[in-house]
Copies of this chain bind each other. A is one copy, B any other.
Amino acid sequence: MAVSGTNSRRPPALLDVPLLDRPPGTAAPGNQAARVHAALREAILGGRLMAGARLPASRTLSQQLGVSRNAVVAAFEALQGDGLVQARVGAGTYVATRLPARAVAVPALRKAASKAPAAPPRPPQQPFALGVPAVDKLLLQRLAGALRRQVTRAEVDALGYGDPRGSEALRQQLAAHLAASRGIVCEADSLLITSGVQQALRLCAQALLQPGDGVWVEDPGYPVARRTLAAAGLKLRPVPVDAEGIDVAAGLRRHRAARAAYVTPSHQFPMGVTMSMARRLALLEWAREHQAWVLEDDYDSEFRYAGPPLTALAGIDGPERVIYIGTFSKTLFPSLRLAYLVLPAAARERVIAARANFDRFGPRLLEDAVATLLADGNFAAHLRRARKQCLAARDRLAATLQHAAGNALRVERPTQGLHLLATLPAGLPADAGARIREAAGVHAVLLSETRLVPRSGEAFVLGFSGHALPAVEAAAQALGRAARQYLAQQPRRSGRRAMPVR
């Protein structure tokens, strides 16, 4: 190796440094200068180029490596910027001597590329999975067009840092939508757009509650919401659910001191019941007397198949203690990441401040694009199509499952929502649901999996949105048959019938 200059310490053979081919599995190489720079830096920090060593002249190195001389010069300058080399006037470039001794112990960069752990499992989109969106090509075309217009026309205001409450256009459209469809009279100023129901809950917990505060949760209930509330440091206080919804009297007896209640009044998840007006008023009375907050998750009220949608709690309350949470995850699709809060005056400033300190604000152009879909009727048209599709899926699932299961399952046809409950007869072993599910080879959620306090009675919580009808049908047949077979193998008891689970 030809090295010019008179320094007594010869540099190591630089050809040993694999400058131009990277090991498989590491990322794509950058430009020549960056690659030379990276390789030399690694050699210095890894100890292969010792402190005080002289680097070859740039011309020599460029020939050796088959890169341009400019690339080598730029790499040397970058190393100098790093503090790793020093240029001595008229004498060449040397590895810096002032590096702490332990620099040589820094692991070689390449080790960082070691195999990372596998990705966490993604929720399966198999039949019965919950929250699967229907792919509405027409809606996607409209959304794409709306996005194109928002993005191409965007001026600096729409591109810069924005309002923590989110797009004003979307908040105005939502205020109109909520007044017309949910009986909630509010102004755009009391709305806050979030990146999903989870963030909405998290912000409320952060802004309005203290870690350690108790929060009523419906039992059975929505596991994701519970996980979020618990992750925010709240203590979950399970309150049973019956045919009228959450049992407020039981909550008062057991957990009167709770500071909040998380409820799904218009269509309880997973039971599917609607909270009665008496319960609603009792819940609001408790909230007012105890200055507690009611977090109303109205996740699927747009999917109503019979009669107009029921009034939201927030529409009854005024709103004073109710924080209404709506979402586009069901009406459009989950990966849009848009939900919204209607905030009572007493909560407004604190929750807005929490958002500003959390992640500042949301993706403005996306929000504006969705606002145009609400304004021009494309959102409503999509909802009509989606409702029709879901109703057909509900009926196909219910009919197929009931036919296949016979008396082994009592299959409900909910008047709202995107899932139904198929209930096993009472008095079966505790693992009946899991065994039937396994025998059927399907991925249904069990009612018992949504309970905090174990209780007898089992059911399958079956999502019917977004799945191809033939797949739903095949899965329903498998599940129905498996249930029937399981029941046939059980010792006979008198009077066993599929009963409502309460």
Chain A residues packing against B (C-beta within 8 Å) = 25-31, 33-34, 37-38, 41, 45, 74-75, 77-78, 81-84, 96, 98-100, 102-103, 106-107, 109-120, 122-123, 125, 131-133, 135, 137, 140-141, 143-145, 147-148, 151-152, 154-165, 175-181, 183-187, 189-190, 194-196, 198-199, 202, 224, 227-228, 231, 274, 276-278, 280-282, 284-285, 307-311, 315-320, 333-337, 345, 348-349, 352, 354, 356-366, 466
Q: Determine whether the beta carbon of A27 is less than 8 Å from that of B107.
A: no
**Other A-B pairs beyond A109-B183, A137-B152, A195-B359, 12, CB < 8 Å:** A34-B308, A41-B311, A78-B307, A78-B309, A83-B277, A100-B285, A116-B189, A120-B163, A133-B156, A133-B159, A144-B151, A198-B358
Among all A-B residue pairs, the 9 with the closest Cβ atoms: A30-B180, A83-B277, A116-B189, A27-B179, A199-B359, A231-B357, A335-B364, A159-B333, A144-B151
Residues of B within 8 A of A118 (CB): 189
Known pairs A281-B100, A333-B160; A190 contacts B116 (CB<8 A) = yes
Report the separation of the CA atoms of residues A348 and B115 in the bound assembly, to the nearest whole angstrom: 13
Q: Determine whether the beta carbon of B277 is less than 8 Å from that of A308.
A: no
Report the separation of the CA atoms of residues A141 and B280 in the bound assembly, to the nearest whole angstrom: 50
Residues of B within 8 A of A282 (CB): 100
A323 to chain B, nearest CB (A): 13
Q: Determine whether the beta carbon of A362 is less than 8 Å from that of B195.
A: yes
Copies in the complex: 2
Report the separation of the CA atoms of residues A9 and B300 in the bound assembly, to the nearest whole angstrom: 39
Q: Determine whether the beta carbon of A183 is less than 8 Å from that of B41.
A: yes
Q: Determine whether the beta carbon of B199 is less than 8 Å from that of A82.
A: no
Report the separation of the CA atoms of residues A222 and B349 in the bound assembly, to the nearest whole angstrom: 24
Known pairs A112-B319, A318-B112; A143 contacts B135 (CB<8 A) = no
Known pairs A83-B276, A335-B160; A141 contacts B152 (CB<8 A) = yes
